[in-house]
Structure formats: C-alpha cells, structure tokens
Structure 1
Amino acid sequence: MRGRVGTAISHGDRVVARGFVERLAGRVMLLEGARRIVLTLAAGACAALALPPVDFPAAAFVAFPLLVWLLDGVGARPTLTRTLIADFAVGWLFGFGYFVAGLWWLGSAMLVNAAAFAVFIPFAVLGLPAILAIYFGLATVLARRFWGDTAFRILILAASFALLEYLRSFVLTGFPWNEIGVLAAPTPMLMQSVSLIGPHGLSLLAVFVFAAPAVLADRRHRMPVLTLAVLLVIAHVGYGYYRLAAHPTMFVDGIAVSVVQANIAQSDKFDEAAAQAIFARQIAVTEKGRESRRPAVENERGAGAAILDTRPRTKTLIVWPESSLPFVLTERPEAVARLAEMIQPGETLIAGAPRVEPMASGGERVYNSVLVIDDNGEIVDARDKVHLVPFGEYLPFERYLARYGIMNLTEMPGGFSAGTERRPIALDGAPSFLPLICYEVIFPSEIAASAAADRPGFIVNDTNDGWFGMTPGPYQHLRLAELSAVALGLPLVRAANTGISVVTDPYGREIDALALGATGTIEARLPAAAEPTPYSRLRNLPFFGLLAATFVFGVSVWLYVSRQTD
C-alpha cells in the first residue's frame, strides 16, 4: 500500500496525512467495529438522496468515495474465507443502507389492508433490502480481487457494480429498481446517455464518476483518473444538451391523448360494493376532460352566446390506468353499454382491467390486462401482463408458502396468470402502441426485445401506484419509466390511478403531467417517436463491450503494478 498517501497501515507504519482529503481518507480506513458499520450503512443511505424525489446527485459524490476508502481499509485476514467475508460485508452494508433508504415506502403497501398484511412490513422494509444488498456485497468481493494501490482501482469497482446490477435485472425474475445509473439521470438532459449504452452502461459510468473524488487521496495515477472522470461528465452532459437541442418535440398530426387520473384510494378497490362508484368516477372524470377540450366557436351569424363544436377534429385516445375497471367487463353488459355511450366517435379507450379466460380442464385464468375499446363499445384488442410482481400478483412456491399464511397483496386465490407474449397493439388511424402494465416498464431490455420486430409509435404505461400513497415510490417509478422510454426513443403515455400521470416525448421532456394525489385529465397531442436508438437496436451489446474493456484495462493495470511492486 505504498503508493497512496495515508494508507501505510501495514507493518505498524503511521498514517501520513497531507491535506483534508488525505486525513479524511485515513480516518475512514482506520475505522473499526460499530463505527465502521454505522458509517458504511450511512454512506449507502446517503447515496439514496440522489434518487427521486430528492434528486440530489451530489450525495453520491460523498457516498462512493466513502465506499472506496472503506474498502481500502479492509486489511488482510488469516484465511481466504475471512477475507471474502470482510470484503462482502462492506458492500452488503452499503447496499443495505442504500436500499432501506430508497425502498422503505414498500411498507406502505402493507398498510392498505393492515389487518392481513401489517405483519409483513418488516420483510418489505428490511427483508427485501437485505436480499438486494447481496448484489452489492458480491460486487465488492469481485472488485477486491483486483484491488490495487493506484487510482485505477475504481475502474474495477465500477465494472463490478455494473456487472452485478446487470444480473439484478433478471436473476429470480429481476428487480432493477433504483439501479445506480438512475442517480446520474435526474433531468431529461442527463437521461440521454441511456439511449447509447443502456441503464447498465450508465451505472458503470456513474460508479466511476461518483467514486472519482476518492482518488484525491492517492499518489499513483491520480490525474489520469480524475481527467477521465471529468471528460465523462462533459460527454454525459454535452451529449444530453446536443440531443435535446437537435431534436425538438414533434407531434403526430390529428392524434390527441386524454390521460385520466381519477385518484381512487387503493383501499376502496377491495370493496366490491364500491365497484360501481369507481366505474362511475372514471367516467365522470373522463367526460369532464372532454368538455375542457371542446373548442367554443361563434354561431354562423356571429352573434349571441358561443356554441360548442362537438365534431371530432382529431382522433383521441383515452387512457385509463391499471385496474381502472374494477370488474370483468365481459360479465357486466350494463357497463359495456355505458362505455359505448361514453366513448364518442373518433375516440378509443385504452383501459387497465382484469380479463378472464376459461381453461379446458375447468376453472379459469385471470389476467391483468389492457383492453382497447372502440367507439361502439367493443373490445377490439387486449394484451396481458407478462412480467408479474412476485408476492403482489402471484405467490412464488405457493403450495409451500401458503401453509404459513403468506398470500398475494391482490388477495386473489391463485393470483394472476402471466401473459404469453408482449407485442404492440395496432390502432385504427393512429400509431401502434406497446402496453406495459405497472413495473413492466422498468425492464428496458425486455421492452426492446418486444419492440424489435414491430416498432410501436409510443408506450402506454398503465399503473396503479395507489398502493404506496404519498411516498417516494411513485416518483421513482416515473423516473424508471422515463428512462426506459428515452432508452428506446419512444414517447411515454402514463396513466396512474393516483399519480403521477404524464405524457413525455421520446427524449423524456414532459408535455404535461398530473401531480401525485391530483384528480383530472391530461389533454395533449401525441408526441411522435424518434428514430430507433442504438440501445433499441443493439440492446446490451454496447454495455457488454464497455464492461469488457473496463475490466481488461483495470485488470491489466493491476497486474502491471503488482509486478512492479514485486
């Protein structure tokens, strides 16, 4: 450890501190016991301040240097097993702090039906973060295998985290919520890099840049690493500025969207007696929105009160959120008739609703679906949710876990069934769209695969974040949806029961939005899609290339320095 100021810990050497950063690094590295554990947890929690709705990326420039110095301070252990455990503990504690601070709001879902689910709050608030933190622990174990005493060690740290974040996106069905790259994309200008390298590539660059201040305490290769970090920041910001400036928002001629946010409390949706009232509220908010977009014109004589010209001048797509129809529509002929009355000529309704399909062996399957209903009140197309939420929409290992009283949040025996395919829906007289229900929208590689053969004109994200109340959850979900849309270069039309509903162009710029907890509609023109992005065509190939190059270069420097030291 000779090459880094303040790191001469072995052989009883004293820590030599030159300047504030060196003194701080030395103190962090020498921490032991409870103080070390608390600081590691606090560093992870600090990183979460860069997540929505706080959106304070500067916090990550504090958190990741602390992580680097904490890893620097992991001394040699008597056995390889103890060494691996020590390396793992630093990453796991950092991850646990990050995920608890970033996902604590999951516990609010258990309070919707507290009598049945309050007992599971500790698992939601602490258990899931403890599992997700394993990925960060494995990342630090991998990084420490090639940990040198030069500034280039943070390249290995970045590559290790990016690799484990990639695995987190699909292992055990995947849960890439709040991937580290999100910390580097708080605004549309800072989202554009995801269209080139995808979310995992953005995570790789984010960890490297956020960790870069740690090398201010180094002597070896400090300037090349800091220079590279500054250049990456300039490229990240510069590309975002260029892409937004070069591509103004374009709209599809003659197509409008009306996004309905009826703001219905999640607890009301468990009350079967309230189903009709919920349906009536959806219609009332929709019709009020229609009145606001009807142009007032003077009568032919130019005198007297203005009259309403109700002739459709555009095709309007009315978008209702996930589970907006609180019953199976085909079982309610009176509801079908009411929808036929509500939907005017030139309008099409896109609504989230359960769909039932009988099985040949008896019984039926229930799907969480999006229905497309024309102005005759007929269901002309439908898509079923493919990527279901474990414990929310289905129960993994149901036969075993049900014995212990564990059930789905939906409280539906057997849960939902997964759809078999995800593909765009064609519309008469309008661009096709890709329906993504709830957290399906946070899996951009799956979306890219679904849109590869038949590129849609826009994304519809029907969701119900009412489970999470007035917490950071809906803000985080929106950011992940926006990043997926930017990655693919597609407009986003997002209908959320209690918010946040939004219409964005393919570059993440908001056309209009409804705040969390608001009631109303968005009346907007439909943005046009951008050209296919590199990510939409190549998916994770650029990331794999960047990851491989980073590992190869980082390991090569480590080997070279190790030989020089020997």
Structure 2
Amino acid sequence: MRKHSKIPEIKYPLLLLFPVAILFALALEPFGFASAGFLCIFLLLYFTKQLTIKSSWKDTILSTLLFSSLVTLTSFYWIWNAIRNISGQGYFVSIILFLVYALVSFYKIGIVFFGSVFLTKQRNIKNSHFFLLVLPSLFLISDWISPMVFPVYWGDLFRNNILWRQMARFGVEVLGFVSILTSALLYLMLLKADRGIRHYFYYLVPIFCFFLINLYFLAETIPQGPTIHLSLVQPNTPYAKREIQENEVWMTKTIQSVYDIGQEAIRNTSKPIDLIVLPESAIPFLGTLDSQNPHSTYSKSFVDVTTSLVRFGNTPLVFNELVFDEGSRNSLTLLHPITLTSERRYKQVLLPFGEYLPGESRFPWLRNIFPEASNHIPGKLSDALGFQTKMGESVTFSPLICYEILYPSLVRDIVNHSPSEFILNLTNDSWFESLTETKQHAGAGRLRSIELGRPVVRVAVTGITTAFDPWGREMMGELQTFQKAIGYLDLPTVAKNRTTPYIQIGPDPWRIMAVFLLFFVFFRNSRADSTIK
C-alpha cells in the first residue's frame, strides 16, 4: 500500500494551472513580482503532488500540454507577432503555428511532472524527500536538458528581487534550485503546522542561510577597472522585410537617419566619448566587408557612414552588419579611429526560424512557410574586442549579438576563453513589436551580469537600451522604446581577472548533485505497492 501525505486533494487539480500560469506571468517582466514567483512555485509543487497521487500518465501528458499552452498565452503571447512577421503568412496560418508552438514550447515542465509520477509509482517516498530532494532536482534538470527556442529558467522568476537574485553568482540554475527548495521548505512547514511553532525552526534556518549568502554577495567589493564614457544610439529603425532590401528610397533614408543621429550623439556629448555603439539592424541587410561573391552585402554607403562617424568623433565605433564570409554572417564590428581598421565577431548561436531554418535541407518546403528567415552560418568562439579610451587606457569587452544573451553557458565560455572588463549586447527586438518581449529579453542581461560579475550594456534598435552593474542594478534610465534616442553612460568597468563561482565551477557540479539526489531517493526508499488504495 502506498503511503500518501496528508495534503488535501482538490476535485479538479488541472484548474490550478490557470492561476499558476498567471502568477508565472506576474513574476516576469514587465511586472517582476518576486512574491508571485514564489507563490507560483508553491502552487506548482502542490499541483505536482496531486498529480503523483492520481498517478495517471494520461493526466501527466495533459498537464504538460496545458501548462505549456497557458504559460505561452500569458507570458509569451508576443511570439505571435514574430511568427506572423517572419512567416509572412495570413492570420489563419499564423494562428495555427502559434498554437502548435504554445503546446510544446514550455515542455520542460514535463520533466518535472513525468519524473515525479515515475518516482512515486516506483517508490514510497516520504514528503520530506519528495519536496526537498526530488522536486528541486527535477526543476534543475529541466533547466539543464530542455533547449527551448527562447530559453527561460526557473530562476528567471526571481531576477527582480535585488537580494534574492544574488544567488545567481552560482548560476541561474542554482538560483532556480534554491528558490524551489525554499518554496518546498515553506510547503513542509505549513504541512507540519500541527506540530507547533518550535518545529518551524528546522524549515526556516536553511532559508535564513540562503538570505545570508545573498547578503554577502550584495555587500561584495568588486575590483574596478577604468571608467569609460559610452554613447548608446537607438535609431528606432523598423524591422525590414526582404522587399525593402530592393527599395532604394527606404534604404537611403535609413542610412541617412542613422548617420544623422550618430552625428547628433557626438555633437551633444558633455565629455569626450570613448566608444559609440549602434545596435543590431540599425542599417539592415548591408555590410562593409568587400567580397567578390555574388551574395556580397558590401555597401559603399555603409562604409562612408561608419568611417565618417569615427573620424568626426575621433572615437571607435561598434556596429552590427551583415557580411559574407564563407556564407552569410551576422557580425558585430569594431571600427578603430586613425587606422580605420575593423575587427569582427560573428554570432555563434543563431535564432531558429529567424536566422536559419532547422531541417531545411530535408524539408525545403519550410522556406515557403518562413520566407523571411535568413540563411546565416554561425561563428566560432573568439577573443574579446579591445579599444583605447581618450585617457589612453586599454579596455576590452565581450561581444554578444541579440539572442546570445539568453544562454548562460555560452556567455561563460566567452568570458572564460577571453576575459574582459564588460559585456556588450547589440540587439533588435523590433520583429516582436512588444514592450513585454523587450523587457523580458533585457532582463536576461540582468542575470548574466550577476553570473559573470561584469556590467552588461544592452543597445537595442527600438529599445530597451539600458545597462546593468555586476549586482544586476540598472546603471542608467531606460531609453523610451520605439523612439529615436541617445543614451550617455559613464560605465565603471571591472578588473579583467574578475571571477565568480559560476565562472570558476560552472553548472556541472550542481547538475551532478541533482542527478545524485534522485538516485539517492530512488534507492533509499522502498518499492511502491502496485495496489493503490
């Protein structure tokens, strides 16, 4: 006979997923309520326990699909715009694609649901083991092995709490693990409430220790590097479909607009600029790398604009361009003054269905569904880029293009390969036409700054253009979205040898720990009776 907890059952547990999805949305931007994140996890633990009591694979599949759909519809509804714009299809086809995406996009919850049901079908697991060892481990493993199109980690639910998010020094997966463990401790504390207040001590002490660790990181003194003056240009270039590429009037107007706002940024600065930054797709489709290939994107006008800005400001310029180098590549380019030499870094992680079509070689008809998708090829791990400030100091930065900021392991590999004083992210969110999306995307930079212990500067073509310090605090006011704007930032960089626990040990020890805990619970507990009463 399987032993169940004293948790009261609810008649229709699937209905609980509706408030859970709403709380999930409230925990993310643009709301950012950490309390909603804890309540979301708390109810999700409760629901998972109910799922194990019913112990039905059919219900587990249904729960996974329903939760994925609800989270997509409440938190990531903006993906609808991207599908419609990139596919170029009508409303009916776009709705079908969006609904299919919604069903499977957040499949990572299935790892938690199926893992919990499987373990409780096989073993009689005490509540304490189930909540403190099994569930936090399954949540961490779900972060590890689910390569989502738009990666979202359980720790993302808590990135807006300045104290709690410091646990991301160990990595966002650990932030998620600790947050779920904390919710589980509170869950068990309420479950054992009949034992009296004295027994609360055992559940509150670990939570108190987590707060002390976060407090230590928040009070940490970080070795400083040079302070540099940046000019961040937001030209508000709208997303450009392929037919625009042949529109000479539109392209000329865009190039002139970017040149004008670049000159304005140089003229209006209150102090010498150390670096001017243009975002991704400020001037779409074109590049400054000359090539004899018929697919070359070389544009003399683009070359004239960038070199003129560098000469006018006597300062290095960072910009995004599309170049042809053994194939089409999305590039971040640093143009140096005086020598007018360029250094390029190619985007390593490409956006599926936007920058390439997965499986296109086998299913060429996909191009008919997603005609706006590019055919880029990825770059390789490369060194940080460096420039000289007006004070003659050398400063380096780690370059990231758009989507790459969502991948903690990628950014860690980049910083480990070639340490830098700050991280620079050029991005274009115009395809989504959503303030919610751009806030969620920008929020990923907040966690990367904590994980890597370095400032993250984000420059977006339509917004949000902002920056985060090594504690994840905003260093400048957000420039208004969907408007032309210029931001000036005095950026205190960090020493190049700056390190964090995440840089030093990475995510692997925690993943091994999660797997070990599952094995421990599995072999520690007796087999479940196949007869459920």
Alpha-carbon distance in 2 for matches of 1:294, 1:152 = 60
Among 276, 282, 290, which residue is 2:252 paired with?
276
- State the distance in 2 between where 1:424 and 1:528 align: 14
**In 1, Cα distance between the equivalents of 2:116 and 2:485?**
50
Which of the numbers 351, 374, 380 marks the counterpart of 1:420?
Answer: 380
Q: Which one of the candidate residues 44, 47, 50 is aligned to 1:73?
A: 50
**Does 2:459 align with 1:481?**
no
For residues 390-416 of structure 1, the C-alpha deviation after alignment (integer angstroms, 9 at most, x for no partner) is 10100011134432554546444xx11
Please tell me whether residue 137 in structure 1 is matched to residue 113 in structure 2: no
Matches within 5 A, 1:399-414: 399-403=361-365, 406-408=368-370, 410-412=372-374
For residue 191 of structure 1, give the secondary structure of its aligned residue in structure 2.
helix
| Equivalent in the alignment of 2:467 | 503
What corresponds to 2:293 in structure 1? none
Instruction: Give 1:177's match in structure 2, choosing from 129, 151, 154.
Output: 151
Residue 279 of structure 2 corresponds to which residue in structure 1?
321
Give distance in 2, aligned partners of 1:383 and 1:464.
17
Q: What's the CA shift for 1:453? A: 3.2
What is the alpha-carbon distance in structure 1 between the residues aligned to residue 31 and residue 188 of structure 2? 27
Structure 1 residue 497, shift from structure 2 partner:
0.5
The answer as to 2:315 corresponding to 1:347 is yes
Aligned CA distance change for structure 1 residues 227 and 431 (closer, same or farther; 3 Å): farther
User: Could you tell me how far 1:221 is from its partner in structure 2?
Assistant: 11
- CA distance in 1 between counterparts of 2:48 and 2:280 reads 44
Q: Which has the larger radius of gyration?
A: 1
User: 1:271 aligns to what SS in structure 2?
Assistant: helix
Relative to structure 1, is the Cα distance of residues 246 and 386 closer, same or farther in structure 2, using a 3 angstrom cutoff?
closer
Note if 1:386 corresponds to 2:360.
Answer: no
Tell me the CA shift for residue 491 of structure 1: 1.4
Q: Which amino acid aligns with 2:280?
A: E
User: Shift in Å at residue 345 of structure 1?
Assistant: 5.3
Match of 1:256 among 221, 229, 239: 229
The answer (yes or no) to whether the contact 1:108–1:468 under 8 Å persists in 2 is yes
Does the 8 Å contact 2:169/2:451 carry over to 1?
yes
* Cα drift, residue 165 of structure 1: 1.3
Residue 287 of structure 1 corresponds to 263
* Distance change (3 Å), C-alpha of 1:517 and 1:226: farther
* Worse-matched range after superposition: 59-68 or 243-252: 243-252
Gaps of 5+ in 1: 8-25, 296-311, 360-364
User: What SS class does the counterpart of residue 367 from structure 1 fall into?
Assistant: strand
CA distance in 1 between counterparts of 2:383 and 2:519 reads 38
Q: Counterpart of 1:498 in 2: which secondary structure?
A: coil
For residue 440 of structure 1, the aligned residue among 388, 391, 404 is 404
Contact 2:266–2:313 at 8 Å: present in 1 too?
Answer: no
Which is bigger in relative contact order (C-alpha 8 A, separation at least 6)?
A: 2
**Residue identity in the other structure for 1:396:** P
User: For the residues of structure 1 that align with 2:367 and 2:418, how far apart are their CA atoms?
Assistant: 44
Question: Would you say the 8 A contact 2:241–2:372 is kept in 1?
Answer: no
Of 138-147 and 210-219, more deviation after overlay is shown by: 210-219
Are 2:88 and 1:126 aligned?
no
1:165/1:263 CA distance change after superposition, 3 Å? same
**What displacement does 1:458 show?**
1.3
Contact 2:189 2:203 in 1 (8 A): no
Aligned to 1:371: 333
Q: Is the 8 A contact 2:27 2:157 kept in 1?
A: yes
For the residues of structure 2 that align with 1:238 and 1:108, how far apart are their CA atoms? Answer: 43
Distance 1:403 1:545, change over 3 A: closer
Match of 1:529 among 471, 494, 500: 494
Task: Return closer, same or farther for 1:60/1:339 CA change in 2, 3 Å cut-off.
Answer: closer
For the 8 Å contact 2:314–2:338, the answer to whether it is kept is no
| Two-structure CA RMSD over aligned residues (Å) | 3.3
Q: Separation in 1 of the partners of 2:431 and 2:233?
A: 18
Counterpart Cα distance in 2 of 1:99 and 1:30: 25
Deviation at 1:235, TM superposition (A): 3.9
8 Å CA contact 2:236–2:462 kept in 1: the answer is yes
Residues 260 and 117 from structure 1, CA distance in 2 versus in 1: closer, same or farther, beyond 3 angstroms? Answer: farther
How far off is 1:143 after superposition?
A: 2.0
- In 2, Cα distance between equivalents of 1:286 and 1:191: 36
- Tell me which of 129, 133, 142 is aligned to 1:164: 142
Counterpart of 1:425 in structure 2: which amino acid? L
Structure 2 CA distance, aligned partners of 1:406 and 1:422? 35
Compute the displacement of 1:37 (Å).
2.9
SS in 1 for 2:166: coil
Kept in 2, the 8 Å contact 1:262–1:285? The answer is yes
CA positional deviation for 1:263: 1.5
CA distance in 1, matches of 2:61, 2:194: 26
Question: Where does residue 430 of structure 1 map in the other structure?
Answer: 394
Contact 1:368 1:416 in 2 (8 A): yes
Q: Which moved more, 1:139-148 or 1:456-465?
A: 139-148
Q: Which amino acid aligns with 2:76?
A: L
5+ unaligned residues in a row in structure 2: which ranges?
290-297
Structure 1 residues 71 and 336, CA gap change in structure 2 (3 angstroms): closer
> Does structure 1 residue 398 correspond to structure 2 residue 338?
no
Equivalent position SS for 2:268? helix
Confirm or deny: 8 A CA contact 2:81 2:431 kept in the other structure: yes
Q: C-alpha deviations, 1:418-447, integer Å up to 9, x for none?
A: 113343223344322111111111111122
Aligned 1:299-314 pairs, distance under 5 A: 312=272
Does residue 4 of the first structure (1) align with residue 12 of the second (2)? no
Contact 1:259 1:318 in 2 (8 A): yes
Shift of 1:240: 3.5
Name the structure 1 match of 2:457.
493
CA displacement, residues 492-528 of structure 1 (integer Å, 9 cap, x when unaligned): 1111011111122222222213233342122112321
Match for residue 19 of structure 1?
none
When residues 556 and 514 of structure 1 are mapped into structure 2, their CA distance, relative to the original with a 3 A threshold, is: farther
TM-score (norm 2): 0.84
Alpha-carbon distance in structure 1 between the residues aligned to 2:105 and 2:232: 34
State the partner residue of 1:543. 510
Q: Indicate yes or no: 2:217 matched with 1:247.
A: no
Q: What residue number does 2:208 align with?
A: 234
1:516 maps onto 2:481 in alignment: yes
> In structure 2, the residue corresponding to 1:54 is in which secondary structure?
coil
Deviations 1:222-262 (A, max 9, x none): 88996566445434444344333333794514x32111111
Tell me the secondary structure at the aligned position of residue 526 of structure 1. Answer: strand
Compared CA separation, residues 334 and 44, structure 1 to 2 (3 A): closer
Find 2:415's aligned residue among 426, 451, 455: 451
* Separation in 2, partners of 1:379, 1:526: 25
Amino acid in structure 1 at the alignment position of 2:356: Y
SS in 2 for 1:421: coil
CA contact (8 A) 1:258 1:524 kept: yes
Is this contact kept in 2: 1:61–1:211, CA < 8 A?
no
Residues 411 and 87 (structure 1 numbering): CA distance in 2 closer, same or farther, change over 3 Å? closer
TM-score, normalised relative to structure 1 = 0.80
Q: CA deviation at 1:209?
A: 2.3
